[in-house]
Amino acid sequence: MLANQISDWWDFAQEVQRHQLLGSVAPHLNDIQTVPEELNAKWQFGLRKRAGISLRQVSETVRLHRLLNDNGAENLVIKGAALGHRLYGSLIQKHSGDIDLVVRPEAAFAALTVLQDEGFLPFATGKRMGQRQMQAVARHYKEIALINDRKEMIDLHWRLVQHPAILKNIRPFEDTHTVPMGPAGSITTLSEANEFAYLCAHAALSDWRRLKWLSDLHAMLAQYDDTRIVELYEHANRLSAGRCVLQVLALREWLWAKPMPAQLRPLLSDAELEELLAFATERLRTPYRPTSDKDRIERIGASAKAQRWLHPHGASAWAQLKPQLFALSDILALPLPRWLDWLYVPLRPFFWVKRQIFPDKLRQMSMRSYRPTVSDPPRGESQG
Compute how many other C-beta atoms are within 10 angstroms of the C-beta atom of residue 47. 17
Q: Which residue blocks in 269-343 are alpha helix, DSSP H?
A: 270-285, 293-310, 314-325, 328-333
pLDDT of 27? 81
pLDDT averaged over every residue in the chain = 84
Q: Which amino acid is at 348?
A: R
The model's pLDDT over 257-309, given as tens digits with 9 standing for 90+, comes to 999 999 999 998 888 888 888 888 888 888 777 888 788 878 877 777 777 77
The model's pLDDT over 76-103, given as tens digits with 9 standing for 90+, comes to 999 987 788 888 887 777 888 899 999 9
At 40, is the pLDDT very low, low, confident or very high (cuts 50, 70, 90)? confident
pLDDT of 315? 58
Cβ proximity of 129 and 122 under 8 Å: yes
For domain 14-190, give its CATH number from 3.10.20, 3.90.79, 2.60.40, 3.30.460: 3.30.460
For residues 349 and 176, what is the distance between their CA atoms, to the nearest angstrom? 44
Q: Given the DSSP bridges, would you call strands 143-147 and 121-122 parallel, antiparallel or unpaired?
A: antiparallel
pLDDT of 320? 59
For residues 98 and 79, what is the distance between their CA atoms, to the nearest angstrom? 9
Cβ proximity of 316 and 310 under 8 Å: yes
Most distant CA pair in the chain, distance: 65
- Residues pairing with 96 in the sheet: none
Cβ proximity of 154 and 120 under 8 Å: yes
pLDDT of 360? 59
Q: Is the dihedral of CA 348, 369, 158, 288 positive or negative?
A: positive
For residues 154 and 65, what is the distance between their CA atoms, to the nearest angstrom? 11
For residues 93 and 335, what is the distance between their CA atoms, to the nearest angstrom? 41
The model's pLDDT over 338-380, given as tens digits with 9 standing for 90+, comes to 888 888 888 888 887 877 777 654 444 444 443 433 333 333 3
pLDDT of 63? 95
pLDDT of 245? 95
The CA distances from residue 252 to 245, 246, 301, in Å, are 11, 10, 25
Compute how many other C-beta atoms are within 10 angstroms of the C-beta atom of residue 52. 13
DSSP 214-232: HHHHHHHHTT--HHHHHHH
For residues 1 and 357, what is the distance between their CA atoms, to the nearest angstrom? 54
For residues 229 and 329, what is the distance between their CA atoms, to the nearest angstrom? 41
For residues 115 and 52, what is the distance between their CA atoms, to the nearest angstrom? 23
Residues of the chain with CATH 3.30.460: 14-190
For residues 212 and 208, what is the distance between their CA atoms, to the nearest angstrom? 9
